[in-house]
Amino acid sequence: MRSFPYVSMMALTVLAVAACKKSTPNTAAGAPDFHNPADPGFAQQAPDSFRARFSTTEGDFVILVHRTWAPRGADRFYNLVRSGFYDGVRFFRVIPGFMAQFGIHGDTAVNSAWRERRIPDDQMRRSNQRGLVTFATAGPGTRTTQVFINYRDNSRLDGMGFTPFGEVVEGMAVVDSLYGGYGEGAPNGRGPDQMRMHIEGEKYLARQFPKLDKINKATVE
């Protein structure tokens, strides 16, 4: 079976029935609160281009975002990063030779709040090549918070709504080194089950997938 970067439809509709203790935002002054997707700060337009630095358990990498590539995607990513949403988030789906995916929060209440905060699709302007960064989807108009980094030429994804909005310009070797030993997610592989991630949060990953790498902090430079 071919593998695609996706957001599980079941995970998008499941309610977070085992909410974790509310996480504490670690954000710059004036940034929106990621616990509240209705915060007006999430409507802020991103700069025409900006750099986002990700400090991870394997080292740092930098994503250069080009708003002209995918305006809606760039705006959503900009506000998620500056809100601190990605701090502490795991790279839960790393498939060597394909892509590395992240963006499900460890706090189940946060995931529940963002479940329906979808953004419309952007027009395809760049192909999914190695190092390019794209939102995962579960079909048209379903982008929320999950993102993947291409490990190779994945141009076969271009006609499926996977629209790149940025590129890794520093630290691609760090991205290459992210732990991918668990492979594809359940039920097609031995990796994490997205539905359980939404229901059980970080406790599930820490208990059953302790080798997964993590974002310590993500900042807009």
Taking the C-alpha atoms of residue 25 and residue 34, their distance in angstroms, rounded to an integer, is: 7
Instruction: Say if residue 145's pLDDT is above 70.
Output: yes
**9 band by pLDDT with thresholds 50, 70 and 90:** very low
State residue 2's pLDDT score. Answer: 46
Let me know if 183 is exposed, middle or buried by CB neighbors in 10 A (0-12, 13-18, 19+): middle
Share of the chain above pLDDT 70, in %: 87
Question: pTM (2 decimals)?
Answer: 0.89
Q: What is the residue type of 157?
A: L
Scan for tokens 């601190």, then name that residue.
84
Model pLDDT for residues 178-210, shown as the tens digit of each residue: 999 999 998 889 999 999 999 999 999 999 999
Q: Which candidate, 57, 6, 11, 5, places its Cα nearest to that of 197?
A: 11
Note the pLDDT tens digit of each residue in 60-104.
Answer: 999 999 999 999 999 999 999 999 999 999 999 999 999 999 999
For 164, the enclosing helix (H) or strand (E) is strand 164-170
